[in-house]
Amino acid sequence: MREVKLRLDTVSWEGLQFDYGAVANIYDVTADEKGKRRRTPDGQRLRNLAIPMGPWSAEDPAFLSVQLEPGRYMVEATPPNGEVISEEIVVDESSEPLLVRLSGEESPHEWLSWQYYTGNVESAASYYSHAVSRDLLSSRVDLVSVWSQPAVGQDADELTAPDALVSRGFFFDLPAAKGFDLSKSADDLFPFDQIDRQVQTAAPEAAFSDAASQVYALESDLVLSLHGQSSAATSWRWGSGPGRHYLLVRGENIPPQYSVLPLPWMQVDGSGEAEVEALVQAGPADPVASGSMDQGHRISITVRDRLVGSVLGYLGAGQLSAAATILGQAEEAIERQAQRLLFSKGVNQPAAAAGAYALLAAQGSGKQESWHRWVANLKQWFPWLPDGAIQYAWVLLRQDRSEEGLKQARASLLEGYRRGLPYFSKGVNLLLDGLILFANDAREAGMPDVEVEAARKVVWRLALRTNPRQLFTSVLLH
């Protein structure tokens, strides 16, 4: 046996490395003298490995180690963008480890590296092959930060009355937004007119840009600078406040739109805050020639979380099984942090919600009891997080067919609806699907469910405007 150490090299301007970066498989392709592959001995085919991904220039480039018998192997990795990256290796009897550094197609720029690997931009070869419009010259990008001050004596997490929750965002304002006035300031565009709500806006500077792309690197400092170093702001930073933040983009030929910003995003490995990266892209100069009818979506949000960044990437790309694979292998590392970081009242609830979406998809994983409890906690402990209530409704729909279970599932869906815009677009999808099922049953029974019908109507309109190709909810306002 020889130790083989695997990783996927990326080219990036920074040293960020994802310990569980890409799903990889190893196949024994040792052939006979005619070139026919030999029958594979047991254990010589390794599937669904999570290998590290990052630049070779990282401080301490990580590898995944496996033991292989001498022979010829095909090593194949598929990052979230779906590119199949393969390399043939020959393993001999040497006692030295064999380093295997896979590398895929090139990203258009080092600063677009993570956006490339998550599938938000094309490879360098395609990126420069078609012309883009001049949309970005006229674009206006605002960070909009909203939260409500908890009433005196009331913990922010205990706010349950829908009107008191700031997470609603534009959610209920979509029909009115049809007559969107571009000349309005961002403050006026958010329908928060109650005195306990604070809306602040800032125009962030792009960290990198070219004619086709602008990248914004966002962290909580920017939000804190807007709201001041109040105690509420400080507690928000550590997750106890119900603040919500959006990136609002508009411009000539850019349909007004916004995306949820999951700020602050605390690294799941406990190492501090992760950067939330917003990409704003120009539309194609000729949508027909580029193969896109261009529905107008321009925003992509990614999170540079060392431990679950790839889980988020696979989720955003719709590769739920790969997301669950990575999550499964990162589980030990995540569980080490779980109580402190994911599921306590302190830190990164959106990350927990992202994990729950992956686990909902891998429902046969045998881990039901523990993660169902996570989802129940997400719903109960964090009333500002719509996704937890939606996910809990689906756990019940799939696990509990009793009248009481259905009643609770319905209530949980409506609770998710009242909480407002889901962090994740998958939440919009599941909310709509669930409401349609309940509406169908009520109609079938000849007793239309007025509450469900009203919610279904609003969420349907939201679902039409939500970008299904983005992880975080990203909505067109027309």
Partner 1 sequence: MDPVFEAAIAGPATHAIVIGVGAYLHLPGGQAFAQRLGVPWTEYPDHEGMGQLSSPPHSARAFARWLLTEYRNPERPLASLHLLLSEPEAGQITLGTGEEKAVERASFEHVRAAIRDWKRRGDQNADHLLLFYFCGHGVNRGFITTLLLDDFGEDPGEPLEQAINLNGFHAGMDQCQARRQCYFIDACRVPSAALIERFEEYAGPAIIHGSAYLSEVPRYAPVFYSTVAGSAAYSREGEASLFTQALLRSLAGAGSKPDDEDNWLVYTGGTLHESIQFLLKRATEAVAGPSQVNSADHVEGEGFPLHYLPGRPIVPILVAVKPAEAAGSAELSYANVDGSDPVVRPPGTASEWDVEIPEGRYRFAARFAGGPYREKEEERTVFPPGRKVSLEVAE
Burial of 283 (0-12, 13-18, 19+ CB in 10 A): buried
User: Per CB under 8 A, which region of 186-194, 262-270, 378-386, 462-470 contacts partner 1?
Assistant: 462-470
**x/- binding map, residues 157-196, to partner 1, per CB under 8 A?**
----------------------------------------
CA distance 150 to 264: 19
Q: Min. distance of Cβ 71 from partner 1 in angstroms? A: 11
Q: Min. distance of Cβ 88 from partner 1 in angstroms? A: 5
Number of residues engaging partner 1 in binding (CB under 8 A): 68
Q: C-alpha angle with apex 355: 351 to 358, nearest 5 degrees? A: 145
The reply to whether 227 sits near partner 1 by the rule CB under 8 A is no
Q: Min. distance of Cβ 443 from partner 1 in angstroms? A: 9
190-215 core/surface letters (b: 16 or more CB in 10 A; e: else): bbbeeeebbbbbbeeebebeeebbbb
| Two structure tokens written together for 323 | 């997301």
Q: Min. distance of Cβ 225 from partner 1 in angstroms? A: 34
Q: Which of residues 287-326 bind partner 1 (CB under 8 A)?
A: 288-295, 297, 318-321, 324
User: Per CB under 8 A, which region of 146-154, 184-192, 263-271, 458-466 contacts partner 1?
Assistant: 458-466
User: Per CB under 8 A, which region of 93-101, 150-158, 218-226, 401-409 contacts partner 1?
Assistant: 401-409
Q: Min. distance of Cβ 400 from partner 1 in angstroms? A: 10
Q: Min. distance of Cβ 247 from partner 1 in angstroms? A: 19
**Contact by Cβ (8 Å): 124, 107:** yes
| Out of 117, 392, 438, 472, the residue judged to bind partner 1 by CB under 8 A | 438
45-80 core/surface letters (b: 16 or more CB in 10 A; e: else): ebeebbbbbbbeebeebbbbebebeebebebebbbb
| Out of 22, 164, 432, 477, the residue judged to bind partner 1 by CB under 8 A | 432
Query: Of the two residues 39 and 92, which places its CB atom closer to partner 1 in the complex?
Result: 39
Q: Min. distance of Cβ 319 from partner 1 in angstroms? A: 7
Handedness of CA 145, 151, 154, 160 (dihedral sign): negative
The reply to whether 41 sits near partner 1 by the rule CB under 8 A is no
CA distance 205 to 224: 16
Query: Of the two residues 11 and 436, which places its CB atom closer to partner 1 in the complex?
Result: 436
Closest CA relative to residue 259, chosen from 250, 251, 268, 270: 250
Query: Of the two residues 263 and 455, which places its CB atom closer to partner 1 in the complex?
Result: 455
CA distance 191 to 254: 22
In this structure, what are the phi and psi dihedrals at residue 359, rounded to the nearest 5 degrees?
A: -75, -30
The reply to whether 369 sits near partner 1 by the rule CB under 8 A is no
Query: Of the two residues 320 and 338, which places its CB atom closer to partner 1 in the complex?
Result: 320
Give residue 124's identity as a one-letter amino acid code.
A
Run of H or E residues at 89 = strand 85-91
The reply to whether 339 sits near partner 1 by the rule CB under 8 A is no
**Contact by Cβ (8 Å): 91, 30:** no
What is the number of other CB atoms lying within 10 angstroms of the CB of residue 252? 12
**Contact by Cβ (8 Å): 322, 137:** no
CA distance 72 to 92: 9
Run of H or E residues at 474 = strand 474-476
**x/- binding map, residues 65-104, to partner 1, per CB under 8 A?**
-------x-x---x---x-x-x-x----------------
User: Per CB under 8 A, which region of 28-36, 152-160, 212-220, 329-337 contacts partner 1?
Assistant: 28-36
In this structure, what are the phi and psi dihedrals at residue 172, rounded to the nearest 5 degrees?
A: -90, 5
**x/- binding map, residues 248-267, to partner 1, per CB under 8 A?**
--------------------
Q: Which residue has the tokens 């007119």?
A: 193
Give residue 448's identity as a one-letter amino acid code.
P
| Out of 145, 220, 240, 467, the residue judged to bind partner 1 by CB under 8 A | 467
The reply to whether 440 sits near partner 1 by the rule CB under 8 A is yes
The reply to whether 450 sits near partner 1 by the rule CB under 8 A is no
| Out of 134, 227, 367, 398, the residue judged to bind partner 1 by CB under 8 A | 398
The reply to whether 409 sits near partner 1 by the rule CB under 8 A is yes
Residue 157: partners with Cβ closer than 8 Å, 6 or more residues away: 240, 242, 345, 381, 382, 383, 384
Handedness of CA 186, 187, 189, 192 (dihedral sign): positive
The reply to whether 27 sits near partner 1 by the rule CB under 8 A is yes
User: Per CB under 8 A, which region of 12-20, 152-160, 161-169, 429-437 contacts partner 1?
Assistant: 429-437
Q: Could you list the residues that contact partner 1 (CB under 8 A)? A: 25, 27, 29, 31, 33-37, 39-40, 42, 45, 72, 74, 78, 82, 84, 86, 88, 122, 126, 288-295, 297, 318-321, 324, 361-365, 397-398, 401, 406, 409-410, 428-429, 432-434, 436-438, 440-441, 444, 457, 460-461, 463-469
